[in-house]
Chains A and B, each alone.
Chain A
Amino acid sequence: MTRDDVAAVLIDELGRIAPETDASRLDPTAELRDELDIDSMDFLNLVTALSERLKIDIPETDYPKLATFGHAVDYLVQRLGVAARPVTSSQQPEPNHRGLPSLGRKSS
């Protein structure tokens, strides 16, 4: 999955939450919560949708990393990179990575 694919998934899911806005024209550095007027329930729904669609875990402690569109794409790409590595033996869905605190800083 390329960075563009990840961005497309994010745009699609943001569009579901805030249908009246054009998520593809978001300022990538602006706070999503302010740009799209999303509340904590919307945000939880976004995280739920992303984690199910991309088959990655998004721990609550990582929520701040999803604050802007640009950071969110960076973060998701990183998580997917991390997720891709252990899946060598079987097509297992990504297990929980809690307990590994500094997964994916600025490595990818």
Chain B
Amino acid sequence: MPSLGADMEAGTLVEWLKRPGDRVKRGDIVAVVETQKGAIEVDIFEEGVIERWLVEPGTTVPVGTPLALIAGTQPAPAAEVSEVAAVPAAPTPMAPSSVEPPPAAGRARVSPAARRLAAERGVSLDRLTGSGPGGAIVSADIERAAAGGGPRPTVPKRLDLAEMRRAIAAAMARSKREIPHYYLNTTVDLTRSLAWIEAANATRPPAQRLLLAALLLKAVALALGEAPEFNGFFTAEGFQPGAGIHLGTAIAIRGGGLVAPAIRDADKLSLDDLMAQLRDLVARARSGALRSSELSDPTITVTNLGERSVETVFGVIYPPQVALVGFGMPVERPWVDSGEVVARRVLTATLAADHRASDGHRGALFLADINHRLQSPETL
């Protein structure tokens, strides 16, 4: 059972998507687990053949429990047992087991395919009884409900927001208890970035247009390359730098709650690829179809308040990460340029960082570097 964050202790296996005998490779989705963050698709990190399942659908098991036996390319059974469980999870130092309430029993378990179908057909999941393993709602149940007619959509229940709230509470309480935060902010003149996006988008169809968010994420990713002490985890052994730059991208869920799945190796992605991934991630976060690796990978979190909000966000670090970069709402403000007061679109960028891993001086350089990069959008 993969750990999908420091706040997760257990998960419920909903369904297997592969069978014993199936060959699997890195990135394949092999199972679906129900967690506080909704139904999550478990992707695998190894290549091999599935020998047998160790956990039956409907069973709730602690994080770390081997789910399946996979015969790898190099036959060494002991090492392979936990392939599925051994998704390189975020380290969970000092995980306070008392903080988190046990997962509530009896919630509807729904396969992602069924969720998508339910959303398409406008079938409410709340009133359905699942016929799948462990009472899980599967596609056939949706078809049956849709065929039965009934009025058009009530709201499809895609995520358990109460559970998500509890998970956020546990993680944020731990953050405020353990992490000595310090905060910095700076104001970014957006003129160049916005002009650059406008010019780029003028020749693109909507499906290929960029949002400011893509530039902000890329600027953070590139700046992290020069500031590794903000990218990684704080564990019992102290600060551990991340193996790559995987930006946890905070995504608000309609109706409340949020998740911050990773855009992996964001520093190496082109703006177009980064934008495509962001679009895909937002869509899947909101429909409850994220993958396990996306939730366990982030090495830092970026939160972007967007256009209808406020100017400044003071972030709470998601443990065991050591930093959070926040962007407020772009606003028009008086700005001095070459001795003249002019109207400019500006944005407040903030850094919340862990004082155990870095100091304010380095934090200031990091934040200033993000600002600097946004002044040359063509280099992002």
Contact = CB atoms under 8 A, between A and B. Distances in A.
Contacts of A51: 205-206
Interface string A68-98: 0000000000000000000000000000101
Nearest to A47: B206
B119 interface: yes
B205 A57 contact: yes
Contacts, number: 53
Contact of B153 (A15, A57, A58): A15
Nearest to A20: B155
A44 interface: yes
A58 B209 CA distance: 11
B135 interface: no
Contacts of A60: 198, 201-202, 209
Given A19-B156, A33-B308, A51-B206, 6 more contacts: A20-B254, A41-B211, A41-B213, A45-B279, A58-B206, A59-B202
Given A20-B155, A39-B306, A40-B211, A98 B203 contact: yes
Contact of B206 (A33, A34, A48): A48
Interface in A5-21: 15, 18-20
B207 A48 contact: yes
A27 interface: no
Interface residues of A, number: 23
- The number of chain B residues touching the other chain, given as a range, is 20 to 34
B179 to A, nearest CB: 28
B202 A98 contact: yes
Interface in A31-53: 33-34, 37, 39-41, 44-45, 47-48, 51-52
A47 B212 CA distance: 16
B282 interface: yes
B337 interface: no
A37 B202 contact: no
9 contacts: A19-B155, A20-B255, A37-B254, A39-B306, A41-B279, A44-B279, A45-B283, A52-B207, A98-B203
Nearest to B278: A41
A60 B200 CA distance: 10
A24 to B, nearest CB: 10
A86 B324 CA distance: 51
A21 to B, nearest CB: 9
Interface in B191-230: 198, 201-203, 205-207, 209, 211-213
Contacts of A34: 308
